[in-house]
Each structure stands twice: as C-alpha cells, then as structure tokens.
A and B are shown apart, each in its own frame.
Chain A
C-alpha cells in the first residue's frame, strides 16, 4: 500500500489493516523482505491510529424524521457541564 494512500486512511480501515498485518506475520508464510515491509507499514499505521485518536473530537448527532427520511442534525448541547 502506498504511503500517500495511508494518510487518507480512516481509523477503522487502519485498524483493520493492522490486524491483517499481524495475522500475516503470525502465519510466518511471507518472505523475509515482505515481512519487513509489513513491519514498517504496521509501524506507520500505529502512528496514524494514535494521531487519529488524539485529534478526535466528539461528534453527536440527533436523528430527525423528515419527509426525506431520517436525517442527522447537530445535537443541541447545553452550555456548561453542570449536572
């Protein structure tokens, strides 16, 4: 996988790819140079996932029935965090 594409990857796909990499390393069937390439890709993906998690901001959506079906709108958050 090209590194340019990795940057575009979302967290879910990156995690799925990471799991795939660990599985093929575990199977031990890949040639050594492939294993090393997988390893390097894995390290990049770990970094990517960590960055995505660090930059996450909560997204809260209210589903609303409209004539076109259910649509997502901003969930009205009250100011302040008082309970």
Chain B
C-alpha cells in the first residue's frame, strides 16, 4: 500500500448512496415476497406500521405505510406468521435496508379467516353476543321485514314459507345488495329503515349460500353493531347451515338457512288457531271456578244459623230462598255441563248460553244494618238489625239468637 491517491476513499454517505443505488437497480429486490414472523410491531398514530420480520436465524426491518396498511383485511400482531410483499430499499441516514411492505397476508390460514376471528373476539369481548342482550321473537308477528336481495333464491324461499304458514303476515321486502362493496351499508340502511318507524315486528336479514367472500358483507363490524342494537328482533339467515357469520352471533336468533328463518319468524296458522281456540277452555275453567266459589258462599249463607231460624215474617221468604238456591244449583250444574259440551262442539253457539240469567234468578243475601255482607255468625250479635236483600227489594229483620258451630 502506498499513497492515498491510489486508494478509493468514500464518505459514509457516498457508501450508503452507492449501496442504495445498487439495491434500487436490482429488479429482484424491487418486488418480492418474504415469509416471516412479525415482532416489535408498532401501529403508529399516523397509520404507518413498523415491525420486524424474522425467522429462526435472521431478521429484517419492515414498514408499511398507512395507505397500504388501511387495505389490510386483518390486524397484524406479534408472533403472527405472514407473507409480506414489497421492495427492499436502503435508508441512507441509518445505513440500513428495510422491507417496504405494500401487501401482507397471514401465512397458512386465509386473511379473511383471521379477520373474522379477530372481529368475533373483539365484539364478544364487548358483550355484543351475550344471551341476555337477545330479544325474544314475537309470538304472532303480523309484519315481517325481510332485508335481502329481491332477486335471489333466499327471498323466494322466505316468501313461499311465510305465505304457506301464516298468510296473515304482511311481508315487507327491503331490497339490498348482499355481497361486494356497498352491501353492508345497504343492509344497515334496511335495519335503520325498519327501526325508525318500527315498521316490522320481526326482521329477517340474510342471503343464500356462497363462498366466504360472497358472505363477507355479513362479517362487517358496523353491520354487526347495527344488528345488535336493533329494537326489532332480528333473525340472521346467511348461507347454509355450516356458515357462521358475525351477524349470526349479533342477531337475536340465528337461522341455519333463509327458509328456516321464515319458519322461525311466523307461527303455523292451523296451530295458532288451535291455540286461540284453547282460550275458550281456559276462560271456561276460570269462570266455572269463580261460580263455584260464589256458590260456596251462598251455601254458607243458607246453612247459617241466622237463616235457619228466622223471624216468623220471613218464613215464607226463607223457604223460597232455600228452594231457589237448590234449584239454582241444579240449573247451574246442568247449564255448566251443557255449556262445556257445546263449547267443544261449536264455540260460536256459546254466545246464546248465559249462566248469568240463571244465577240472577233469585237468592237473598244478608247485610248488617250498617252495611256489609254477613258471612259469619261473628258478623252479627243478638239484637242486631239485619237487612235481607232479594232481587226485587229488601227486608228488615232482628237477630234473636245465634250459635256458632265449632270448627
């Protein structure tokens, strides 16, 4: 080695500029895929992503600008295996080369799947899928809102099944895209439309089967939130039985298919008619037991000492009362029996039967002078004035004797 002039001496900058130029000139380094594991991941507030990609032996610094990062269908995390596409470029100031990533996908499993899992975990963590948030479906919805494509097989299935099961229900179809750009926004608009005026009793939101990409609109976060916050119960029916979307979890009910959603939404008319008709039997039981209770109190009155030993002047009335009471019972028993038989035959004919008229045929009640029904000998004392009330007037009487039966 001799003089300096025989040496080529570069400044650091010159060196790094030279290296940068060599790298930039290399077509291979201008576009390549790198497989690696994400570490030191930083999501900067500017939207840029800073991280390193590493394998067992080596690492490379990587960065992804916000413009590219915003197109990612999943959120990178430390430890995640990824395939990153980009170019290598040198950074002169630091004397480093970096991988400038413009696209990235999870390695091994699909990006969509990762995004789905991440969103599901996030919303689950917020409690959006909790059972106690879910609203019960109405028993008899008369307006069914359907948000789906107006031309698909799904809408056809839903219409067929609702028309067959429960033609009384009005079906309101809110047409919407069900896949691709703009689909989530339209589906959300449908939910908002029905909720704004409570224009439906239940909403079916869905579409027929398709690929995971086709169904993707139903894994949209904003849509899932809209479904969860709907005041009207929502049945989610997306794709086939094996397809689970985020919307399915957020909805009040998940139906395996659009047809199944229609079955869940409305009752079957004949079954509903049977249930409505059963109300007559229920009312009959209630009224009959009410009559039984009142008859019991009539009997108590009849058997009471006061009535068994009345003033002479009331003898005739008393005899009539006892006879009438017995007659009333007989007639009433017959009437109830007959009524029940006729109910079973034909409900409409029941209107003619009115046990009231039988009951009103006449019995008396005893009141204390100052008012109040005499239900027990304890209610009156010897010497008290009492009033007998019949259907056509009243009678005054004085208690001359009283005896309380034991037990």
Q: CB within 8 Å of B: which residues of A? A: 11-12, 15, 18, 21-22, 25-26, 28, 32-33, 35-40, 42-44, 46-47, 49-50, 52-54, 56-64, 70, 72, 75, 77, 81, 83
Q: Are B354 and A61 in contact (CB under 8 A)?
A: no
Q: What is the 8 Å Cβ interface bit string for chain B, positions 76-100, against chain A (1 contact, 0 not)?
A: 0000000000000000000000000
Determine the chain B residues whose CB is within 8 A of the CB of A58 once the complex forms.
159, 162-163, 167, 169, 171
Q: A58 CA to B170 CA in the complex, in Å?
A: 7
Determine the chain A residues whose CB is within 8 A of the CB of B168 once the complex forms.
11, 52-53, 56
- B279 sits at the interface (CB 8 A): yes
Determine the chain B residues whose CB is within 8 A of the CB of A49 once the complex forms.
273, 276
CB distance from B319 to the nearest CB of A (A): 25
- Interface hits, B130-175 → A, CB 8 Å: 140, 142, 150, 156, 159-160, 162-163, 167-175
Q: A15 CA to B273 CA in the complex, in Å?
A: 11
Closest B residue by C-beta to A3: B351
CB distance from B232 to the nearest CB of A (A): 15
Contact of A36 among B142, B156, B354 (CB under 8 A): B354
Q: Are B171 and A59 in contact (CB under 8 A)?
A: yes
Q: Are A53 and B269 in contact (CB under 8 A)?
A: yes
Q: What is the 8 Å Cβ interface bit string for chain B, positions 342-356, against chain A (1 contact, 0 not)?
A: 000001101100111
Q: A15 CA to B140 CA in the complex, in Å?
A: 9
- B283 sits at the interface (CB 8 A): yes
Contact of B279 among A22, A28, A37, A64 (CB under 8 A): A22
Q: A18 CA to B290 CA in the complex, in Å?
A: 19
CB distance from A75 to the nearest CB of B (A): 6
Closest B residue by C-beta to A52: B168
Q: List 9 A-B contacts (CB under 8 A).
A: A26-B286, A36-B354, A37-B356, A39-B283, A43-B283, A53-B273, A61-B171, A62-B173, A63-B172
Contact of B173 among A25, A53, A61 (CB under 8 A): A61
Contact of A22 among B162, B171, B283 (CB under 8 A): B283
* 3 tightest Cβ-Cβ pairs between the two chains A and B: A56-B168, A58-B163, A25-B286
Known: A28-B290, A60-B173, A62-B150. A39 touches B276 (CB 8 A): no
Determine the chain A residues whose CB is within 8 A of the CB of B169 once the complex forms.
58
CB distance from A64 to the nearest CB of B (A): 8
CB distance from A60 to the nearest CB of B (A): 5
Q: A77 CA to B280 CA in the complex, in Å?
A: 39
Determine the chain B residues whose CB is within 8 A of the CB of A53 once the complex forms.
168, 269, 272-273
Q: A18 CA to B355 CA in the complex, in Å?
A: 20
Determine the chain A residues whose CB is within 8 A of the CB of B290 once the complex forms.
25, 28, 32, 35
- B294 sits at the interface (CB 8 A): yes
CB distance from B343 to the nearest CB of A (A): 8
Determine the chain B residues whose CB is within 8 A of the CB of A61 once the complex forms.
170-173
Q: Are A18 and B351 in contact (CB under 8 A)?
A: no
Determine the chain B residues whose CB is within 8 A of the CB of A18 once the complex forms.
276, 279
- B291 sits at the interface (CB 8 A): yes
- B193 sits at the interface (CB 8 A): yes
Q: Are B284 and A39 in contact (CB under 8 A)?
A: yes
Contact of A42 among B172, B272, B279, B291 (CB under 8 A): B279
Q: What is the 8 Å Cβ interface bit string for chain B, positions 336-368, against chain A (1 contact, 0 not)?
A: 000000000001101100111001100000000
Determine the chain A residues whose CB is within 8 A of the CB of B174 once the complex forms.
63, 70
- B287 sits at the interface (CB 8 A): yes
Q: Are A70 and B356 in contact (CB under 8 A)?
A: no
Q: Are B283 and A42 in contact (CB under 8 A)?
A: yes
CB distance from A2 to the nearest CB of B (A): 15
CB distance from B193 to the nearest CB of A (A): 6
Q: Are B287 and A56 in contact (CB under 8 A)?
A: no
Q: Are B277 and A50 in contact (CB under 8 A)?
A: yes
Determine the chain B residues whose CB is within 8 A of the CB of A75 once the complex forms.
150, 159, 171, 173
Determine the chain B residues whose CB is within 8 A of the CB of A60 once the complex forms.
159, 163, 170-171, 173
